[in-house]
Chain A
Amino acid sequence: DGGITQSPKYLFRKEGQNVTLSCEQNLNHDAMYWYRQDPGQGLRLIYYSQIVNDFQKGDIAEGYSVSREKKESFPLTVTSAQKNPTAFYLCASQSYNEQFFGPGTRLTVL
């Protein structure tokens, strides 16, 4: 089955620690995106990548980093510089005119 997987589904982090969220797709899409979703709010774009080895900052990139070494993979690192990282994180890949979403990772900072 084609799709997007995100792992883990739930993640707990202590303050001051970096943590990496995984996103893998087997849809052969060039473009991939990371969004953050907070309760009662819409999706805010963190980073996106249109092609391997290239990525761009979105609206709220501060405190986050990404890499795109393979077409299938677009991991997101939440660094200790992110002041309020507790949120639901969504990864998406894009064909020409549709975005496909993974199931999300809920990150909680303890």
Chain B
Amino acid sequence: GNSVTQMEGPVTLSEEAFLTINCTYTATGYPSLFWYVQYPGEGLQLLLKATKADDKGSNKGFEATYRKETTSFHLEKGSVQVSDSAVYFCALKAYTGNQFYFGTGTSLTVIP
């Protein structure tokens, strides 16, 4: 079946620290992979995506590379800001079918 596993939080970092949030997946075929971000009390927003192996998605200083050999899509940012405090969700869309599969989310708090 299809599933996503992401590192549990919460994660607390100081401003300007390096961020990694791990995400691994199980899927048949060649899924598309996504990172969504949720700010307090809001819906989810797409942060970045990658649709094939070795693609790198990037946005707002965040990056993630689609690694088929390790079935991973880890989220990274070189220098986090207080405004990056949010919950981050890793997700996949299977090659066949329309349904998305979400991880459980990782809460990030950045302190000044």
Partner-B contacts on A (CB < 8 A): 4, 6, 31, 33, 40-43, 45, 48, 50, 90, 92, 94, 97-104, 106
Q: Give the number of A-B contacts (CB < 8 Å).
A: 48
Given A97-B32, A97-B49, A97-B93, A102–B43 Cβ distance below 8 Å? yes
Tell me, rounded to whole Å, the shortest Cβ–Cβ distance linking A40 to chain B: 8
Query: What chain A residues lie within 8 Å of B102 (beta carbons)?
Result: 42-43
Interface of B is mostly: strand
With beta carbons under 8 angstroms apart, the residue of A31, A40, A41, A90 that contacts B44 is A90
A76 to chain B, nearest CB (A): 15
Q: Which residue of B lies closest to A41 (CB)?
A: B104
Are A104 and B104 in contact (CB-based, < 8 A)? no
Residue contact A104 to B99, C-beta cutoff 8 Å = no
Determine if B98 and A31 form an interchain contact, defined as CB atoms under 8 angstroms apart.
yes
Q: Is B45 positioned at the interface, with any CB of A under 8 Å from its CB?
A: yes
Bound state CA distance, A40 and B105, in angstroms?
A: 8
State which size class the interface on B falls in.
Answer: 20 to 34
7 closest Cβ contacts across the A-B interface? A101-B43, A42-B104, A101-B44, A43-B102, A103-B43, A42-B102, A104-B43
| B residues neighboring A (CB under 8 Å) | 32, 34, 36, 41-46, 49, 51, 89, 91, 93, 98-100, 102-105
Q: How far is the CA of A103 from the CA of B41 in the complex (A)?
A: 8
Given A50-B98, A97-B51, A43:B89 Cβ within 8 A:
yes
Identify the closest chain B residue to A45 (Cβ): B99
- Checking A41, A48, A94, A104 against B41 with a beta-carbon cut-off of 8 angstroms, the contacting residue is A104
The complex places the Cα of A90 from the Cα of B45 at a distance, in Å, of: 12
Residues of A with C-beta under 8 A to B100: 33, 94, 99
| Interface-centre pick from A6, A100, A106 (highest chain B CB count, 10 A) | A100
CA of A38 to CA of B55, assembled, Å: 32
Per the bound structure, the CA–CA distance linking A60 and B41 in Å amounts to 22
In the bound complex, what is the Cα–Cα distance between A42 and B90 (angstroms)? 10
Instruction: Assess the B98–A94 pair: CB atoms within 8 A.
Output: yes
Q: Chain A nearest CB: distance from B19 CB in Å?
A: 20
